[in-house]
Amino acid sequence: MAPNPPKPNKEKTRVPLRRRRRRAPPTQACACLTACAHAPPPLQLSRARVGLRLSVLVPSENLSTHVQNGVPAPEEIPKKASQAIMASTQAAKEERIKYMQGDLFACPVTDSLAHCISEDCHMSAGIAAVFKKKFGGVQELLNQQKKTGDVAVLKRDDRYVYYLITKSKYFHKPTYDNLQKSLEAMKIHCLKNGVTHISMPKIGCGLDRLDWNKVSTMLEEVFEDTDVYVTVYTL
C-alpha cells in the first residue's frame, strides 16, 4: 500500500495570498470606504476637514476683531498718518495770518512792524504818516538807498520796523510783483535776525488799492515753512 502524500502547509499557501492583497492597486483596495480596511473612519475624516477649515479662518477672525474694536488694520496706518500730517499742515497754514481789531501800535512790544512806502520816503498820508511821526528816521531810511522791491529797516528798542518799498514815488501805485519782492527781502531779514512775529495793517490795500485776498495769499506763500507769523490789525 502506497504511503499517503504529505498534507500541504496551509501557512505557506496563505502568505503569498496575503502579500498579493497588500500589493493590490489603491483603486481596488479603496474602491469603497466602508469595505476598505485602510480607510479612516468617516468621523475622523470629517474632523480632520473641520480642523483644517478652522485653522484657515482664525487669522480672518482676528482681523475682524481689530476692525470691530476700532483699531485700524496695519495697511490703513500709513494712510491715516498721511491724513494727520496733511491736516496739521493745513491748520498751520490757516494760522499763519491772524486778525485783530484795534490799534496797530498797541501790539506786543516784541512784535516787529511793517508797512509800505515809496523810494522817496515821503510818507505824507495814510498809515505811513503815522509811522513817520512815531518812529521818525526819514534820513536814516534815505541813507540806506533802497530801491523798489527792497526793504528798509529801522531798529527801535527791541523791535524792527520794516518799510516795504513798493514804488518809486509817493503818488505812484505799487504792483503785486514789487510787493512780493519786498516781502521776500523782509523774510530774509527776519530769518537772519530771529524775528518770528510781525504786526502790520492790510499792506498795499489802503491808498494803494491792492486786493487783500491776493496780498494775504502772497503773505502765506512767502512765509510758508518758516517760523514767522503775521498779525493783521484792522480798525
**What is the per-residue pLDDT across 91-110, written as a single tens digit (0 to 9) for each?**
555 589 999 999 999 999 99
**CATH 3.40.220.10-classified regions of the chain:** 94-234
pLDDT-derived band at 58, boundaries 50, 70, 90:
very low
Q: How do strand 159-167 and strand 151-156 relate by DSSP bridges?
A: antiparallel
Arithmetic mean of pLDDT, 152-178: 97
User: For residues 163 and 151, what is the distance between their CA atoms, to the nearest angstrom?
Assistant: 6
- pLDDT at res. 60: 46
- Single out the catalytic residue among 111, 150, 167, 187: 167
Going 79 to 82 to 88 to 94, the CA torsion angle's sign is negative
Closest CA to 135 of 160, 117, 110: 160
pLDDT in tens, 1-44: 555 666 555 555 554 555 555 555 555 444 444 445 555 555 55
pTM value?
Answer: 0.63
Statement: residue 123 has pLDDT above 50: yes
Is 208 noted as a catalytic residue in this protein?
yes
Query: Could you tell me if 148 and 165 are in contact, meaning their C-beta atoms sit under 8 angstroms apart?
Result: yes
| CATH 3.40.220.10 matches 94-234 | yes
Condensed to tens digits (0 to 9), the pLDDT of residues 46-56 reads 444 444 444 44
> What residue has cell string 524792527?
160
pLDDT of the residue at 235: 86
The rounded radius of gyration (Å) of the Cα atoms in the chain is 45
Do 138 and 121 contact (CB within 8 A), yes or no? Answer: yes
- How far is C-alpha 225 from the chain's CA centre? 13
| Separation of CA 15 from chain center | 82
Identify the band that residue 214 occupies on the pLDDT scale cut at 50, 70 and 90: very high
| Residue 185: closest CA among 118, 123, 114 | 114
Active-site choice (111, 181, 187, 208):
208
Question: What pLDDT, on a 0 to 100 scale, did the predictor assign at position 48?
Answer: 42
